[in-house]
C-alpha cells in the first residue's frame, strides 16, 4: 500500500465502517426468507514503523491509532509510549496504513529482530521465521493483582453487552474491557480479532496513563498465550476471560505473576494459582 496511484487515499468521510448490511437468504425449518443482515468488516491494516512495513493485520477498521500503539507496546517494539513520536492513519480503497515514528534505538532493535508477520483473526504468530524468534519468556508484572471475586465479575458480565454494539449487530466480534476494582467497565473496544481488541484497549490505556494496579482486563474470548503475553508486556496484573485458557497461557501467567481467571460466568469462575 505504498503506491498511492494503485491505492489512492480515501477522504476521511469515506473511511470504511465497522460493519456492512447485506441482503441474505435465511434458511429455517425448510423455509427460505429474504432479509437483510449485518456482518462485521475485516480490513487489512499495514503497520509501518519509520517507513518500513512490519506487519499486516486483519482488523475491524476503527480505533486504529490505539490499535497501533497497543501493538507496538504489547509486541515489545517500544518499551513505553514515550518512544512513539507520531501516529498517522491513512485509509486506502483496499486497506489502511498506520505510520508510526518511533525512537531510533527501538527502530534499530526492530530491524535486528524483524520478522515477516501477516496476522489473521485467529493467529498471533503467523510468519514467525523460526522457533528461536518466538519469545515465550514474559516480563515480570510489577503491579499487584486485585483481590476481585464473583461480585465484581458478575457486574462486568451484566454491563458488558452495553459496550458490545458491533457484537450485537453482527455476532462476529470480540471485546476487551478495562474494569475498575469494583467491576465497573471504564472502557471497552471491539474487533474481529481478539488480540486486536486487546491491543486497542492497551493503546488507549497507555494514552490515558492508566494505573494498571487499579483494575483488570476482561476479554470475551479464550485466554490464548498471546493475550496473556501482551498483558505481561503492558504490566497488567489480572486478566479475566469468558472462555477457556490454554496450558501455555496458564504457564505464562505463572511466570509473569499475572492472576488469570477464566470460564467467567454468572455463577462462578476458575482460577489458576501458580503451582509449587
Catalytic-residue membership of 123: yes
From the candidates 35, 123, 126, 264, which is the catalytic residue? 123
All cell numbers assigned to 202: 492497551
Q: Identify any residues that bridge with 22 across adjacent strands, giving them in sequence order.
A: 37
Q: Identify any residues that bridge with 86 across adjacent strands, giving them in sequence order.
A: 101
Q: Residue 149: which residues within 8 A CB-CB, separation 6 or more?
A: none
In whole angstroms, give the CA distance from residue 182 to residue 162.
Answer: 17
Mapped onto helix, strand or coil, the DSSP state of residue 28 is strand
Query: In what order do the strands lie in the sheet containing 268-271?
Result: 185-191, 174-180, 215-219, 238-241, 259-265, 268-271
In whole angstroms, give the CA distance from residue 18 to residue 108.
Answer: 35
Q: Please give the C-alpha separations between residue 160 and each of 71, 155, 156, 175, 271, in angstroms, as whole numbers.
A: 24, 8, 6, 9, 21
- Taken as a whole, the chain contains a residue count of 276
List of E strands, 82-166: 84-92, 95-102, 117-118
Angle at 253 between CA 251 and CA 256, to 5 degrees: 110
Q: Identify any residues that bridge with 118 across adjacent strands, giving them in sequence order.
A: 56
**What is the Cα Rg of the chain in Å?**
19
Catalytic residue IDs: 123
Amino acid at each position: 500500500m505504498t503506491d498511492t496511484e494503485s491505492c489512492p487515499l480515501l477522504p476521511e468521510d469515506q473511511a470504511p465502517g465497522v460493519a456492512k448490511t447485506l441482503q441474505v437468504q435465511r434458511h429455517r425449518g425448510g423455509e427460505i426468507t429474504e432479509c437483510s443482515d449485518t456482518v462485521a468488516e475485516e480490513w487489512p491494516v499495514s503497520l509501518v514503523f519509520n517507513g518500513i512495513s512490519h506487519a499486516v493485520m486483519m482488523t475491524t477498521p476503527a480505533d486504529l491509532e490505539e490499535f497501533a500503539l497497543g501493538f507496538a507496546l504489547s509486541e515489545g517494539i517500544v518499551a513505553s509510549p514515550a518512544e512513539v513520536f507520531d501516529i498517522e492513519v491513512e485509509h486506502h480503497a483496499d486497506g489502511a496504513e498506520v505510520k508510526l515514528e518511533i525512537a531510533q534505538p527501538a527502530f534499530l532493535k526492530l530491524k535486528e529482530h524483524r520478522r515477516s508477520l501477516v496476522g489473521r483473526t485467529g493467529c498471533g504468530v503467523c510468519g514467525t521465521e523460526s522457533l528461536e524468534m518466538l519469545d515465550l519468556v514474559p516480563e515480570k508484572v510489577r503491579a499487584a493483582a486485585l483481590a476481585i471475586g464473583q461480585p465484581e465479575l458478575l457486574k462486568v458480565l451484566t454491563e458488558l453487552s452495553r459496550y458490545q454494539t458491533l457484537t450485537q449487530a453482527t455476532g462476529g466480534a470480540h471485546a476487551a474491557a478495562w474494569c475498575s476494582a469494583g467491576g465497573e467497565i471504564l472502557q471497552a473496544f471491539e474487533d474481529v480479532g481478539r488480540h486486536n481488541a486487546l491491543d486497542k484497549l492497551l493503546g488507549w490505556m497507555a494514552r490515558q496513563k492508566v494505573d494498571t494496579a487499579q483494575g483488570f482486563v476482561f476479554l470475551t474470548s479464550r485466554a490464548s498465550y498471546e493475550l496473556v503475553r501482551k498483558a505481561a508486556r503492558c504490566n497488567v496484573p489480572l486478566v479475566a476471560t469468558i472462555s477457556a485458557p490454554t496450558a501455555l497461557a496458564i504457564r505464562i501467567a505463572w511466570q509473569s505473576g499475572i492472576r488469570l481467571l477464566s470460564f467467567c460466568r454468572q455463577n462462578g469462575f476458575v482460577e489458576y494459582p501458580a503451582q509449587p
